Amino acid sequence: MTSLIGMEPNTVEKPSVTMLGLGAMGTALARAWLAAGYPLTVWNRTPARAAALAPEGARVADSAAQAVAASTLVVICLLDDTSVDEVLAGVDVVGRDLVNLTTSTPAQARARAAGARRRGARYLDGGIMAVPPMIGAKEAGGYVFYSGSRELFDRHQETLGVPAGTTYVGEDAGFAALHDVALLSAMYGMFAGTAHAFALIRREDIDPAALAPLLADWLVAMIPAVHQTADQLRSGDYTTGVVSPLAMQVAGTPTFLRTAEQQGVSPELLGPYFDLMRRRLAEGGGEEDLTGVIDLLLR
């Protein structure tokens, strides 16, 4: 029997990664892999950004083609879909595992997956739910939606999980982008509401810093409503568990609009939502939650 005494500890070599695009996000991703000891090859259109990572251990490629040739796993984080087209044009991607974290529409992601397949590459799309300071800081809670080949995701999950958490949302390559845009759209709705709230108090002797915690606590208290909305959408019954029926809420809308007018605040953020609530009420949804508004949005 062979003795194990004196053998080297079993060190597992980390897979090499290529990173195309070193803007704020690409650089944060690259630094996370470097800090974790992954062999990393980088390329960026403006070479100085790539050169800046050399002292941290990155291998700097002279071209995108050279960078792609360096690793099987190629992570792309560029400004937009057009820049991805430009960077990958003419580059040999045969046998590469392309992971595109550039913000795209679902249609762009699906087209890119099909294009990658035609060119002999495998493809995974990603939607980043984090800002650069959250990358490499797991406790910050940032994560990336992934969709496309499950097999590819499983193969690279450990590596992809280094900069941020990973959430796989399906074989359809467009689903990561769709989840990304859905969450960010909800965020903009929230920002729109808070903008209106701050505008209401703007000309009064009320400290915005005093309103802020009240606003934040109220929004948090309202968050469970998303689960009830989901349950109602699944069941198709929008009246289950209703505590504030649409008819009552619509009756209150003139108060909101008059208050805005009295405070000299434009109703242009709230107005369109109230219009939809009134339309649903007119269709007979008075006993429902606000869930029926979703159906009115579907064209």
| x-marked contacts with ligand FVH along 245-274 as a string, rule CB under 6 A | ------------------------------
99 neighbors 75 (Cβ within 8 angstroms):
yes
Distance CA 54, CA 45 (A): 16
* Pick 80 or 275: Cβ nearer ligand FVH: 80
Q: Is 285 in the site for ligand FVH (CB under 6 A)?
A: no
Figure out which of the listed residues 41, 71, 103, 147 binds ligand FVH, where binding follows CB under 6 A: 103
Q: Is 86 in the site for ligand FVH (CB under 6 A)?
A: yes
Residues 65-84 that bind ligand FVH (CB under 6 A): 77-80, 83
Token duo for residue 231: 């349950």
**Beta bridge partner(s), residue 145:** 127, 167
- For the bound state, the minimum distance from the C-beta of residue 117 to ligand FVH, rounded and expressed in Å, comes to 22
Figure out which of the listed residues 18, 19, 26, 122 binds ligand FVH, where binding follows CB under 6 A: 26
| x-marked contacts with ligand FVH along 121-150 as a string, rule CB under 6 A | -------x--xx------------------
Give whole-number Cα distances, 38 to 12, 35, 144, 165, in Å. Answer: 11, 8, 19, 17
Closest-approach residue to ligand FVH (CB) = 23
Q: Is 53 in the site for ligand FVH (CB under 6 A)?
A: no
Size of the site for ligand FVH (CB under 6 A): 22
Q: Is 169 in the site for ligand FVH (CB under 6 A)?
A: no
Exposure class string for 3-37: b at 16+ Cβ within 10 A, else e: eeeeeeeeeeeeebbbbbbbbebbbbbbbbbbeee
Q: Is 24 in the site for ligand FVH (CB under 6 A)?
A: yes
Coil, strand or helix at 114: helix
